[in-house]
């Protein structure tokens, strides 16, 4: 089993320096170029299924990566991208659309995120309870093949936290850059391969 977790390309929220969360910010032109670079790198890799968050920045990244991969049965159509709302980024509630400085000004410096202190945000427990069942399902479904999952930095960190066995309130402190690859391999239990591999952007 191999799951390749890919963060979406640069979105307008990234370019603006604001918290995107569950808002549907589209890719920038740079983000599309990043996705095409990821597609070129993966063009010679067998991929059996592609999944994505249903937010457009992830779904479009997945569609661009899927283009070089024709179905083996030969219609010439790219692999279908299967979208899942469970793969969305964490909902940051009233902090979405704000910069970190604006969040500190509005809610107070040092206000914790993910603990319910910001109105309408998704807590750590709620976020992991949404993401990890789907990851476990995909792991079981693809024990004998390779799948690609295009999601968000927070979603990927939630999966890593689940694998490492951290408490819900502690996501690992890895930098997950746009269109980087994080690889999970094996079955009992799965193990981590490369994390934040973005050689195709260099």
Spatial neighbors of 35 by CB under 8 A, at least 6 apart, are 8, 9, 27, 60, 61, 64, 65, 179
- The one catalytic residue in 8, 124, 152, 198 is 8
**What is the DSSP code string of 165-184?**
T--TT--------TT-EEEE
- Is 72 in contact with 38 (CB distance < 8 Å)? no
The residue behind tokens 């973005």 is 198
Q: In the annotation, is 84 catalytic?
A: no
CA distances from residue 149 to 7, 28, 115 in whole angstroms, order as listed:
9, 20, 27
- The one catalytic residue in 60, 83, 89, 96 is 89
Q: In the annotation, is 202 catalytic?
A: no
Give the residue numbers marked as catalytic. 8, 89
């Amino acid at each position: 089993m191999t799951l390749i977790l890919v963060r979406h390309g640069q979105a307008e929220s990234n370019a603006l320096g604001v918290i995107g969360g569950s808002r549907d910010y589209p890719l920038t032109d740079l983000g599309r170029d990043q996705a095409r670079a990821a597609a070129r790198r993966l063009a010679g890799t067998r991929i059996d299924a592609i999944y994505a968050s249903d937010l457009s920045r992830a779904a479009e990244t997945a569609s661009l990566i899927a283009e070089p991969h024709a179905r083996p049965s030969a219609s010439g159509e790219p692999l279908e991208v299967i979208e899942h709302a469970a793969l969305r980024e964490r909902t940051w509630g009233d902090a979405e659309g704000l910069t970190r400085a604006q969040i500190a000004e509005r809610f107070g410096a040092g206000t914790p995120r993910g603990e319910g202190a910001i109105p309408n945000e998704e807590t750590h427990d709620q976020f992991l309870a949404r993401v990890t069942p789907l990851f476990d399902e995909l792991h079981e479904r693809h024990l004998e093949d390779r799948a690609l999952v295009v999601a968000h930095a927070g979603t990927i960190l939630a999966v890593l936290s689940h694998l490492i066995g951290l408490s819900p309130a502690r996501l690992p402190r890895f930098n997950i850059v746009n269109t980087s690859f994080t690889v999970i391999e094996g079955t009992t239990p799965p193990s981590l391969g490369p994390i934040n591999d973005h050689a195709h952007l260099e």
